[in-house]
Amino acid sequence: MKPIPYGKQHISEQDIEAVVSVLQEDFLTQGPRVKEFEEKFAQYVGSNYAVAVSNGTAALHLSALALGVNQKSKVITSPITFAASANCIRYCGGEVELCDINPDTLCLDISKVREKLESAPRGTYQGIIPVDFAGYAVDMESFRKLADKYGLWILEDSCHAPGGFFRDSNNGVQKCGGGSFADAAIFSFHPVKHIACGEGGMITTNDQYIYEKLLLLRSHGITKDPNELTKNDGGWYYEIQSLGYNYRMPDLLCALGISQLDRAEEGLKIRREIAKKYIEAFSGLPVTIPKSSLHQGHAFHLFVIQVDERKALYDYLKGNGISAQIHYIPVHKQPYYVELYGEQVFKHAEKYYKRCISIPMYPSLSSNDQDYVIETIVQFYKQNHV
């Protein structure tokens, strides 16, 4: 039997046809699918603009540049995230300032961020990168209020949460990356994510200045816009007006993204059903379900449980053909960051890391496989592994 992974893409006939049709047309990259994907994605999350880029890490890097991160910047993020949420600050020469997580949401604890801002002179910090960890939509309205008080920008890392939402103070639905509160938000289209393109990423924003900057940075800082050029030698003429990159997402992958986006809500619904089934199944076991998993707007990129005997459970699942995963080893425990900033302690992040394990969660996880995952975990506890 093939092991059951913790996450997996689902490729439909429609996806295959969408990619094949690009192969039969004129553009492999920078064709009409890029704009179409951007427009449809912006519409899906509710933002004014979207910029497709080569992956989520590139999305973070370009956003950090567009928001002005440089050697003088100090930017706050969560220790429980994928490396890229912190690394993007380092790419621009800035300093990574971690704050502990809230043990209920597993996301950046706003009260800890407030304490940090209050205890330093104004202007010490420039921005915050909250991460919608596992698919839980962070309350961006509260972060906005705090950021405004101290003059900070917000870059929301929504890689885990396309389609996730929270309710604002007027009870309105606010989707992750919707642009109302964060200055920019980013997404990844890695195969384990909701929208799987192999590689790919998206930045959403409501800010025209950031949008235009991102377009330039994505493609070598080059412009051909006659209104922007300092002179014009003819129809071929272009100018490099700032140092940019080749972080473009090709037409081929955007076609796959458009097709996957069509099924995004369907996939989300299945993820939420699987979560409900897991929550019910584990209710009598010594398994902690994070409070965030009970939240209506959770997008369930991951289904994380917390158990005391995490290593034994991980090995037992592996031995029974289930590839669980650990999300994440805290950023401050990584040798690169220890060397940079020394030993740091974030109590809740470390406590969480000792007990966390992500079990299979993806829309094509069959009902039989869901049952098998549940039975295997139940069996683990029956066999007195505690």
Ligand X SMILES: Cc1ncc(COP(=O)(O)O)c(C=O)c1O
Sites of contact with ligand X (CB under 6 A) = 55-57, 81-82, 84-85, 131, 157, 159-160, 188, 190, 201
Q: Dihedral angle at the C-alpha atoms of 8, 316, 294, 273, nearest 10 degrees?
A: 50
Residue (194 or 287) nearer to ligand X, CB: 194
CB 325, min distance to ligand X, A: 11
Q: CA separation (Å) from 61 to 32, 76, 91, 150, 210?
A: 25, 15, 7, 23, 13
CB 120, min distance to ligand X, A: 26
CB 97 within 8 A of CB 75: yes
CB 200, min distance to ligand X, A: 7
Residue (144 or 160) nearer to ligand X, CB: 160
CB 150, min distance to ligand X, A: 24
Residue (287 or 304) nearer to ligand X, CB: 304
Helices (H), 76-169: 83-91, 110-118, 140-150
CB 131, min distance to ligand X, A: 5
CB 186 within 8 A of CB 41: no
CB 92 within 8 A of CB 119: no
Residue (178 or 201) nearer to ligand X, CB: 201
H helix or E strand, kind and range, residue 306: strand 303-306
Round to whole Å and give the CA distance between 119 and 117.
Answer: 6
- Specify the 3-state DSSP secondary structure of 188: strand
Residue (60 or 307) nearer to ligand X, CB: 60
Residue (81 or 293) nearer to ligand X, CB: 81
Residue (106 or 377) nearer to ligand X, CB: 106
Round to whole Å and give the CA distance between 45 and 57.
Answer: 20
Q: Dihedral angle at the C-alpha atoms of 100, 287, 192, 163, nearest 10 degrees?
A: -70
Round to whole Å and give the CA distance between 290 and 283.
Answer: 12
CB 96 within 8 A of CB 129: no
CB 186, min distance to ligand X, A: 7
Residue (84 or 152) nearer to ligand X, CB: 84
CB 203, min distance to ligand X, A: 12
Nearest partner of 99 among 125, 65, 63, judged by Cα: 125
CB 144, min distance to ligand X, A: 20
Question: Closest-CB residue for ligand X?
Answer: 56
Round to whole Å and give the CA distance between 21 and 241.
Answer: 35
CB 89 within 8 A of CB 96: yes
Residue (41 or 82) nearer to ligand X, CB: 82
CB 56, min distance to ligand X, A: 2
CB 301, min distance to ligand X, A: 8
Residue (158 or 206) nearer to ligand X, CB: 158
191-211 burial: b if 16+ Cβ within 10 Å, else e: bbbbbbbebbbbbbbbbeebb
Contact partners, residue 174, CB within 8 Å, separation at least 6: 137, 140, 141, 165, 166, 167, 168, 180, 181
- Strands 184-188 vs 201-205: parallel, antiparallel or unpaired: antiparallel
